[in-house]
């Protein structure tokens, strides 16, 4: 390692620098052992989107003439804001980028954040890191292994994306840039998550902070892409690593150098995180703990009061998310009203057979509000299983609290919270759209997704009753699949009736479609039945901690 410093300390000093990495490979193997299935699922689900979406686009735009026609109308503010500037919409590769690049990059960002937190701060919070660090393990070995494994997922996904692009005979240079740009985004968020894991003392805090940073970077680049006319890059996009990756422009200019910036950001971020790890105590964050109230009120001790207090941070976060998303959607709609000519026949063809292209986009935004509310509902009730898993429920039930009362309190917060998110997000979507729609109409349209959000609570309660240990993962899987089909159903060449058979797909797409009573009632009834079965089972089963 060192070519010999003279002096008495010469024998020990040189290796001291590397001592902090002792056991690194062991940690890598350990983390892979604990996460291999999770990693494989992430990699497979993300990569498989490439051939699926490519196939559907090949069918949608079979001829060059069709692609050229699409290129004429692709550059709408909605497309720019949601998925980036369509700089090469006349080629299959460029269309692939429009349809799937942003989804893959953002999803990989989420994967990086969740993985790094799960193996990093969550373990430290639970005290498992202490056990590891007490053995002959270097101070940074475990964290470094964590970052390397999470980064490895990004590289793997990038590689798979590139190979799958090549396998459908897309241009070679573009295929490699496509994979590299997605991998680069994932890597950048490994660094973001590494820093969040050092700053926050809880895994929940680390995840929330990471997701907030991701949302911030997403909105910065959305603002940048909305600002520009044509396909020139706005300087604002340089304030977001997602913007850097976008500007690699696969199947367009195929620029490689922004990847260097992304890798540099990754290395700097991880190095800084390790530096913080050196200076802080195990189990602590940089944000110090303040003393709190020494007494608990009667409200805090009520089932609803306790849920509200425990979920306080998360509730505020989700409501803020709904507000930001609503305002953002409204802003995009506003930009569209000025940019789009609703009589354009191409626009009509792509946005649906409605009188107003705008209505099509608005219905999409309304659905996003619905998906956000559904995610909140799942997360909120997953907290109930969390209370059971970590043993805190036992102490509560040892008091004079019935199981159904406890669970109904959790359900109440999930149901009312999701309704609030829908109303606020919907109202802001309309109110900030500068006349594209009214706040009242959009709030009502968003509330149309409440039965779907309730169905998510029903699914979670049902699983919580019958398969408590698997309930959280399975509920997220059900949600993820439902959301994926609602958003990309047509891209997957699913029939309309198949999409209508899924929770979010079943909801009438107001304002482009009219309100329909039947699906609303259907969703509600299924939700109530699932929830009732789940609650009944929970009342009659053993309490099972982790």
Partner 1 sequence: MSSSNLAIEVTDLHKHFGKTAALAGLNLQLAQGSVGGFLGPNGSGKSTTIRILLGLLKSDGGTATLLGGDPWRDAVELHRRIAYVPGEVSLWPNLTGGQAIDILARLRGGVDYAKRDELLERFGLDPSKKARSYSKGNRQKVALVAGLASDAELLILDEPTSGLDPLMEQVFTECIRKVKAEGRSVLLSSHIFAEVEKLCDTVTIIREGQTVEAGRLDDLRHLHRTVVSVVLDRDAAVLATVAGVNDLVTDGFKATFTVGEEELGGVLKTISTYSPRTLVSSPPSLEDLFLRHYGGAGRAQLTTTQVAGAR
300 binds partner 1 (CB under 8 A): yes
Q: Print the binding letters for residues 239-268 with partner 1: x by CB under 8 A, - otherwise.
A: ------------------------------
* Listed ranges 7-15, 57-65, 321-329, 537-545: which one lies at the site for partner 1 (CB under 8 A): 537-545
Q: Give 229-282 as a DSSP string.
A: STTPPPGGGGG-HHHHHHTT-TTTT---HHHHHHHHHHHHHHHHHHHHHHHS-T
Under 8 Å between Cβ of 210 and 193: yes
What span, in angstroms and rounded, lies between the C-alpha atoms of 488 and 427? Answer: 25
Q: Does 208 bind partner 1 (CB under 8 A)?
A: no
List 22, 56, 202, 524, residue binding partner 1 (CB under 8 A): 202
391 counts as binding partner 1 under rule CB under 8 A: yes
The residues, any chain, with a CB within 8 Å of residue 163's CB and separated by 6 or more, are 175, 179
517 binds partner 1 (CB under 8 A): no
One-character DSSP codes across 326-339: HHHHHHHHHHHHHH
Q: What's the CA gap between 222 and 280, in Å, rounded?
A: 36
The answer to whether residue 281 forms part of the interface with partner 1 (CB under 8 A) is: no
Structural tokens at position 75: 């550059």
Neighbours of 254 (CB within 10 A): 19
Rank residues 235 and 296 by Cβ distance to partner 1 and give the closer one. 296
- Judged by DSSP in three states, 293 sits in coil
Counting contacts by CB under 8 A, is residue 295 touching partner 1?
yes
> If we measure between CA atoms, which residue out of 262, 46, 57, 41 comes closest to residue 164?
46
| Stretch touching partner 1 by CB under 8 A, among 226-234, 307-315, 330-338, 508-516 | 307-315
> H or E stretch including 202?
none
CA dihedral 38, 39, 41, 44 (to 10 degrees): 180
Q: Does residue number 467 form part of the binding site for partner 1 (CB under 8 A)? A: no
Instruction: Write down the least CB distance from residue 461 to partner 1, Å.
Output: 19
Pick out residues in 172-201 that bind partner 1 (CB under 8 A): 201
- Contact status: 293 vs partner 1 (CB under 8 A): yes
Quick one: which segment of 41-49, 176-184, 396-404, 471-479 binds partner 1 (CB under 8 A)?
396-404
When asked if residue 304 is in the footprint of partner 1 (CB under 8 A), the reply is no
Q: How far is the CB of 201 from partner 1 (least distance, A)?
A: 7
Q: Is 76 exposed, middle or buried (0-12, 13-18, 19+ CB in 10 A)?
A: buried
Is 402 a residue that touches partner 1 (CB under 8 A)? yes
Dihedral of CA 339/239/315/484: which sign? positive
Q: Does 230 bind partner 1 (CB under 8 A)?
A: no
| 394: contact with partner 1 by CB under 8 A | yes
Rounded distance, CA 457 to CA 378, Å?
A: 6
Number of Cβ atoms within 10 Å of the Cβ of 67:
20
* Residue 232 binding partner 1, by CB under 8 A: no
> What length is written for the chain?
546
Q: State the minimum distance, in angstroms, from the CB of residue 132 to partner 1.
A: 19
Nearest to 356 by CA among 344, 339, 372, 374: 344
Q: Stretches 5-13, 309-317, 413-421, 437-445: which one binds partner 1 (CB under 8 A)?
A: 309-317
Comparing CB distances to partner 1, the nearer of 118 and 140 is: 118
Region of 55-63, 103-111, 191-199, 308-316 interacting with partner 1 (CB under 8 A): 308-316
* Distance in angstroms (rounded) separating the CA atoms of residues 392 and 398: 10
Residue 392 binds partner 1 (CB under 8 A): yes
- Indicate the angle between helix axes 102-119 and 141-167, nearest 10 degrees: 160
Work out which of 40, 172, 282, 301 binds partner 1, going by CB under 8 A: 301
* Residue choice 163, 233, 263, 310 for contact with partner 1 (CB under 8 A): 310
Q: How far is the CB of 398 from partner 1 (least distance, A)?
A: 4
Shortest Å, Cβ 295 to partner 1: 5
Considering only residues 291, 343, 345, 435, which one is a binding residue for partner 1 as defined by CB under 8 A? 291
181 in Cβ contact with 96 (< 8 Å): no
Two structure tokens written together for 200: 């926050």
Map tokens 């039965």 to a residue. 451
Window of 97-105, 156-164, 384-392, 480-488 that interacts with partner 1 by CB under 8 A: 384-392
- Using alpha carbons, select from 126, 125, 118, 127 the residue that is nearest to residue 146: 118
Residue choice 6, 345, 399, 435 for contact with partner 1 (CB under 8 A): 399
Residue with tokens 């995840």: 207
Q: Enumerate residues 121-150 that contact partner 1 by CB under 8 A.
A: 125
Q: Pick from 362, 356, 324, 325: which is nearest to 340 by CA?
A: 356
Helices and strands, counts by H and E, the chain: 25, 0
Q: Give whichever of 292 and 345 is closer to partner 1, judged by the CB atom.
A: 292
297 near partner 1, rule: CB under 8 A: yes
Smallest separation, CB 278 to partner 1 (Å): 22
Q: Does 4 contact partner 1 by CB under 8 A?
A: no
How many chain residues interact with partner 1 (CB under 8 A)?
35
Q: Residues 289, 341, 517, 518: which binds partner 1 (CB under 8 A)?
A: 289
Q: Which stretch binds partner 1 (CB under 8 A): 39-47, 290-298, 330-338, 457-465?
A: 290-298
Quote the tokens at residue 380: 């909120």
Residues in contact with partner 1 by CB under 8 A are: 125, 201-202, 289-298, 300-301, 306, 309-310, 313, 390-392, 394-402, 540-543
């Amino acid at each position: 390692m060192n070519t010999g410093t003279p002096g008495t300390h010469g024998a020990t000093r040189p290796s001291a620098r590397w001592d902090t990495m002792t056991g690194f490979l062991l940690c890598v193997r350990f983390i892979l052992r604990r996460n291999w299935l999770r990693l494989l699922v992430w990699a497979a689900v993300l990569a498989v989107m490439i051939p699926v979406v490519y196939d559907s686009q090949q069918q949608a735009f079979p001829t060059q003439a069709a692609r050229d026609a699409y290129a004429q109308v692709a550059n709408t503010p909605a497309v720019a804001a949601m998925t980036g500037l369509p700089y090469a919409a006349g080629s299959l590769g460029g269309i692939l980028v429009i349809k799937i690049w942003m989804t893959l990059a953002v999803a990989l960002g989420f994967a990086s954040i969740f993985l790094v937190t799960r193996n990093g701060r969550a373990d430290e919070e639970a005290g498992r890191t202490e056990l590891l660090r007490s053995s002959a393990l270097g101070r940074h070995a475990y964290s470094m292994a964590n970052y390397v494994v999470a980064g490895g997922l990004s590289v793997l996904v990038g590689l798979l994306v590139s190979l799958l692009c090549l396998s459908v005979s897309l241009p070679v240079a573009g295929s490699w840039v496509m994979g590299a740009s997605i991998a680069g985004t994932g890597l950048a968020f490994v660094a973001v998550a590494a820093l969040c894991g050092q700053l926050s003392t809880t895994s929940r805090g680390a995840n929330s902070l990471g997701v907030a940073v991701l949302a911030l970077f997403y909105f910065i680049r959305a603002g940048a892409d909305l600002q520009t006319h044509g396909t020139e890059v706005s300087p604002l996009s340089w304030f977001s690593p997602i913007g850097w990756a976008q500007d690699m422009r696969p199947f367009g200019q195929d620029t490689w150098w922004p990847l260097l910036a992304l890798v540099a950001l990754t290395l700097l971020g991880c190095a800084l995180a390790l530096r913080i790890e050196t200076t802080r105590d195990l189990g602590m964050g940089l944000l110090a703990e303040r003393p709190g109230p020494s007494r608990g009120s009667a409200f805090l001790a009520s089932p609803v009061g306790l849920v509200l207090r425990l979920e306080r941070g998360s509730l505020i976060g989700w409501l803020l998310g709904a507000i930001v998303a609503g305002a953002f959607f409204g802003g995009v709609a506003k930009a569209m009203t000025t940019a789009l000519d609703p009589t354009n026949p191409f626009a009509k063809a792509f946005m649906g057979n409605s009188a107003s292209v705008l209505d099509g986009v608005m219905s999409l935004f309304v659905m996003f509000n619905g998906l956000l509310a559904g995610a909140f509902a799942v997360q909120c009730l997953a907290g109930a299983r969390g209370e059971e898993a970590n043993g805190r429920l036992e102490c509560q039930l040892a008091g004079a609290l019935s199981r159904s009362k406890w669970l109904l309190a959790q359900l109440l917060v999930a149901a009312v919270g999701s309704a609030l998110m829908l109303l606020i997000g919907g109202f802001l979507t309309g109110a900030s759209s500068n006349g594209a729609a009214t706040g009242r109409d959009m709030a009502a349209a968003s509330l149309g997704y409440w039965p779907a959000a309730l169905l998510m609570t029903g699914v979670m309660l049902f699983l919580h009753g019958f398969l408590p240990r698997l309930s959280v993962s399975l509920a997220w899987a059900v949600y993820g699949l439902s959301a994926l089909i609602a958003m990309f159903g047509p891209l997957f060449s699913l029939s309309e009736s198949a999409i209508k058979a899924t929770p979010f797909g079943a909801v009438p797409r107001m304002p482009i479609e009219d309100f329909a009573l039947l699906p609303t009632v259907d969703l509600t009834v299924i939700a109530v039945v699932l929830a009732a079965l789940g609650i009944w089972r929970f009342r009659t089963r053993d309490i099972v901690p982790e």
